[in-house]
A = this chain, B = another copy of it.
Amino acid sequence: MKPSIPKGTRDFSSTEVAKRNYIFSTIKHSFENFGFQPIETPSFENSSTLMGKYGEEGDRLIFKILNSGDYLSKVDDNILTEKNSQKLISKISEKALRYDLTVPFARYVVQHQNDITFPFKRYQIQPVWRADRPQKGRFREFYQCDADVVGSKSLWQEVEFVQLYDTVFSKLGLSGTTIKINNRKILSGIAEVIGAKDKLIDFTVALDKLDKIGKEGVVKEMLSKGITEEAIKKVDPLFDFSGTNTDKLASLEGMLQGSDEGLKGVEELRFINNSITELGLTSASLEIDVTLARGLNYYTGAIYEVSAPKGVKMGSIGGGGRYDDLTGIFGLKDVSGVGISFGLDRIYLVMEELNLFETVELPKPKVLFLNFNENESLEKVKAIRVLRENNIKSELYPDTATSNKQQKKQWKYVTNRGIEFVVTDVENDTFVLKNMINSEQTTCSLDELITKVQ
């Protein structure tokens, strides 16, 4: 039977690891450049830490770890005969795999609050696990790259996160991303104006289709969801919501005169937009999008979502927002947080599509020493030692070829691994070096060899 791995999980070859590490290290470098500090939390948490934090659906998708030992011994017989899987879980499983990085972070902040200097700018790059149905770009094990600040309500953080997205994507060569931004307070304001808080999601979902089905279609859908004609009229400007961010803000300001909360949202967005205009972005653009509502019952202020450069078909490659009571679930009240996340796997796919990995150095030796003659091996290994000390990745083909076929195998190894330089022979401190790209062959000393391959 051929071995396999669980569905929704992946093996990564060295080429894939190198490309992924390129993204990770770019993100990490920018996180630290912006003053964020790394933390790490365990892969599994106590179930009580995770359960109930992601809604019913989330609870179902959390991977539970079976207790060790005789885990059934203390289970009530009735529960077993009942055969109720859900009821039994808490009796036989006390631990669960991390589902995201936000809840463990909140737990971390509360647990270590006395050792933390606030505002606490932390980043975390670790895998998470979800028992979701796997599909293109959705896995059961995947990485999240999160940066959050807790303990500050300053809008400068919101500004900084826009800059951070722009910096990372620019460094990755992903020009032309759009950082969409909205504010929960504006959505609340709209709800207030249309007179129905509970209709807000229906409203934004319908509005989001404006491009596709036009104003008439959207209005029809809204009416069918029970939003009144009068309400729709009040927010009429949203149907012609184009123009610059400044235009949009002016339009929103007019529309939301009846809602203090809505106006506060406009003011916040205006601050962020003006600051970014003053500061400038390298390759991204900031776009106010009032249909943006991700994680609605979670965010309390800014909401971010980043879309890939135009022309690339891909969902959002990043998202985040402000949540005023991050740590309340663990008993520490009134700590505001704001943060963003980078979607590693999607960024990878977009970069692959745009051929942006060309500059990534693949993990392979720069110089291979062929092994056709046992008597030369020690001298070659001595040279390799010096090369490595000079940070030149190099290796000896380990087995001595004793036939033509075995010599061919070594040359094939050179080709398959795409090795640039090959040392064939050495005698009296003189090396025969072959450049595999231009087929040039030279005879040189070790010092010359080092210079040539560097």
Residues of A in contact with B (beta carbons under 8 Å apart): 1-6, 9-14, 17-18, 21, 32-46, 49, 60-61, 63-66, 68-73, 75, 77, 80-81, 83-85, 88-89, 92-95, 97, 107-108, 110-112, 115, 117, 119, 121-122, 127, 129, 131, 141, 149, 152-154, 156-157, 159-160, 163, 167, 275, 278-279, 330-331, 363-365, 371, 377-378, 381-382, 385, 388, 391, 393-400, 412-413, 416-417
Question: Do the beta carbons of A111 and B279 come within 8 Å of each other?
Answer: no
Q: Is the CB of B382 within 8 A of A278?
A: yes
Whole-angstrom CA separation of A60 from B35 in the bound complex: 44
The chain B residue sitting closest to A398, CB to CB, is B154
A64 in contact with B66 (CB, 8 Å): yes
**Count of this chain's copies in the oligomeric assembly:** 2
CA of A306 to CA of B5 in the docked complex: distance in angstroms? Answer: 33
Most buried by B among A35, A41, A167, A413: A35
Contacts of A395 in B (CB 8 A): 34-35, 121, 160
Whether the Cβ atoms of B68 and A65 lie closer than 8 Å is no
Inter-chain CA distance A108–B363, complex, in Å, is 18
Task: Kindly report which residue of chain B lies nearest to residue A167, judged by CB atoms.
Answer: B388
Q: Do B40 and A12 touch (CB < 8 A)?
A: yes
Shortest A139–chain B CB gap in Å is 9
Closest CB-CB distance, A23 to chain B, in whole Å?
14
Question: Which residue on B lies nearest to A275, using beta carbons?
Answer: B378
Q: Which residues of B contact A75 (CB under 8 A)?
A: 83
- Contact, CB under 8 Å: A117 / B413: yes
CA distance A365 to B31 in the complex (A): 11
Complexed CA–CA distance, A129 and B97 (Å): 12
Contacts A17-B40, A279-B385 known; 6 new A-B pairs at CB < 8 A: A3-B330, A6-B42, A9-B44, A11-B42, A11-B111, A17-B38
A141 and B398 contact, Cβ closer than 8 Å, known pairs A365-B35, A378-B275, A393-B33: no
